[in-house]
Amino acid sequence: MVVGIGMDLAEVARYEFDENKLAWFARKVYTEEEIAYIMRKRNRAERLAGFFAAKEATRKAFGHAIVWREVGVSHERSGKPVIRLYGRAAQLPERRGVTRIHLSITHTATLAAAVVVLEGDAS
């Protein structure tokens, strides 16, 4: 049963930071794991935008604001992106009856998009 769904678009140009701005923004928004992953890749702005869209889509799926750094994008060995929740946000799935969080991210040179679906067992 679908418990929540969220979607977000992010313009890649908004994430083309110089090193100082990236450091400041990263401390506010991204987890250390996310930044380490992004720094290993080309087209960093596309990934920054995609991860931001995934965080915002997660917030929308749950229906309220969640601290940015308490929502993280990680990857399974296969490369599939997954949402990880930290801190107080880690309690949300149990409190909302969410048993699985599905994430899809896509990006082009100009736009990034993410969709999050919260799934729960039918009661």
pLDDT at 113 over 90: yes
- Fill in the DSSP letter of residue 14: G
Average pLDDT over residues 78-99: 96
What pLDDT digit, counting tens, does each position of 15-35 carry?
Answer: 999 999 999 999 999 999 999
If DSSP codes are grouped into helix, strand and coil, which group holds residue 46? helix
C-alpha span between 94 and 98 (Å, rounded): 6
pLDDT reported for residue 121: 87
What is the CATH number for 93? 3.90.470.20
Q: Which two tokens stand for residue 8?
A: 């977000």
pLDDT at 122 over 80: no
Average pLDDT over residues 27-56: 96
Look at residues 80, 101, 105, 102 and name the one whose alpha carbon lies nearest to residue 12: 105
Q: How confident is the model at residue 123 (pLDDT cuts 50, 70, 90)?
A: low
C-alpha span between 53 and 59 (Å, rounded): 10
- HSE at residue 52, side-chain half, CA atoms within 13 A, is 21
CB 49 within 8 A of CB 67: no
pLDDT reported for residue 99: 97
Boundaries of domain holding 15: 2-119
C-alpha span between 18 and 59 (Å, rounded): 27
What are the percentages of helix, strand and coil residues in the chain, rounded to 5?
A: 45, 30, 25
Domain count, the chain: 1
pLDDT reported for residue 77: 94
pTM for the full model?
A: 0.95
